[in-house]
Structure 1
Amino acid sequence: MSSTALLGIERFLVLQRVAMMVNRYEVRAVAPDGSPGALLALAQQKRVAFKEEVTFYADEDRRTPAFSFKARSRMDLGATYDVRDAEGTPVGLFRKDFGKSLLRSTWHLEAAGVRATGRERNANVALARRAWELLPFVNDLPSPFRFHFDFVDESGQLVLSSQRLRSLRDRYEVTVPGGRLDGRVAAAMCVALDALQSR
């Protein structure tokens, strides 16, 4: 599998697999019947580790780094995350808009030729999800809410959409219309939407 497998891609899946003390995200192609297809990238992270840095690999054995994202600072609620290719060259960035996210999660992302703002599609679901997160003992339970994010550029054109599918664990269908946005940035952003959502 090539480390550039996500370049120009228009649709893929992000699947979270949870094991003891480990969060694993699989980025997969979409098979003709809509089911998960070939592995495009894989990220695995200890659940007790800092979530401010995630490396994606091009292989199941996690021997070949493909790309990564990392926060510029760890304790900043509105931190900027740089997305870098396997050689460490920046290919994009994203950051959470902390003020606007108090009621409805909002993110900004940039990559070659693209500047976009993304937010939770449904304001009512955003408020219900916040109420759920305030309940005790729900941190390790799957969220019952199917929240979706849409990212649009300055002209209002959709550049990235992430929709949570119906399943026990977190599964997302990701659409990149026209392949305008670098698929590595799209995949990093969508994993961050899951891994960093409570930040």
Structure 2
Amino acid sequence: MTAAMHLPRFLVRQRITLGVNRYDVHAANPDGSAGALMAFAQQKRFAFKEQVTFWSDDTRSRAVFSFRARQRLDVRAEHDVFDEHGQVIGTFGKRFGASLLRSTWTLTAPGIAATGRERSLGVALLRRVAENLPLPYHFDVTDDADGTLLMSSGRRWSLRDSYDVAVPDPRVDFRLAAAFAVALDALQER
């Protein structure tokens, strides 16, 4: 089954701002540079119930998808991803106990049950000790049934948060992958 909207590779770049987290999501060109803007995301910091809206561009005139926590202030909160019509297209959530050493998340959608975790235990432990260093790290999301790679997100060395996201599995909807990639940055420290 192919997702309604699939993009095999895209880039997520955080904008440096005060008070809100803002992200540009671009399709990746063959050379790895930023291509067309696919979405602009904004998240209020310090919200009691996490919600991030993705817009068609930074004028914020048309919301195209979003994600929202089911619970308030819960480190184990499940987050639903909604299309532009408010229909749930997938869910993700952090597995708190499993994340003590290496951050671990679940990702579900029709026909998909997957687990995402930091690729390197060493980098995961170093990130916990050196919290303020912009260390590069990678997440791999694999299918729980057969272990195939569904998507990966790699943080680049950069002062502002910058990620390369690969989605080799056509079952993974771009909107779910983009929401999860932004959540890895916006919610990772919780």
TM class by smaller structure:
over 0.9
Q: Which residue of 2 aligns with 1:167?
A: 158
Which residue of the other structure, out of 182, 187, 195, is the alignment partner of 2:173? 182
Whether the 8 Å CA contact 2:153–2:181 is kept in 1: the answer is yes
Aligned pair count?
Answer: 186
Q: Which amino acid aligns with 1:146?
A: P
Give the match for residue 96 of structure 1: 94
Percent sequence identity is 56
Q: Quick one: structure 1 residues 181 and 109, their matched pair in 2 at CA, closer, same or farther if it must change by over 3 Å?
A: same
Which residue, out of 174, 186, 190, partners 1:195?
186
For 2:57 and 2:88, locate their aligned partners in 1 and report how far apart those are by CA, in whole Å: 21
Superposed CA offset, 1:135-173 (max 9, x none): xxx4xxxx3311100000020100010011222211111
Q: 3-state SS of the aligned residue for 1:178?
A: coil
The answer for the alignment partner of 1:78 in structure 2 is: 76
* Whole-Å separation in 2 of the counterparts to 1:77 and 1:60: 29
Aligned residue in 2 for 1:58: 56
Give the root-mean-square deviation of aligned CA atoms. Answer: 1.5
> Aligned-pair distance for 1:55?
0.5
Which aligned runs of 4 or more in structure 1 are off by greater than 6 angstroms?
Answer: none
Q: Equivalent residue for 2:149?
A: 158
2:136 corresponds to which residue?
A: 146
Give the letter aligned to residue 150 of structure 1. D
1:3 corresponds in structure 2 to none
C-alpha spacing 1:56/1:119, structure 2 compared with 1 (3 Å): same
Q: What's the secondary structure of 1:39's corresponding residue?
A: strand
Shift, 1:51, TM fit: 6.5
Whether the aligned pair in 2 keeps the contact of 1:81 and 1:93 (CA below 8 Å) is yes
Q: Is the 8 A contact 1:51 1:195 kept in 2?
A: no
Gap regions ≥5 residues in structure 2: none
1:41 — aligned with what? 39
Long gaps (5+) in structure 1: 1-5
**TM-score normalised to the size of structure 1?**
0.89
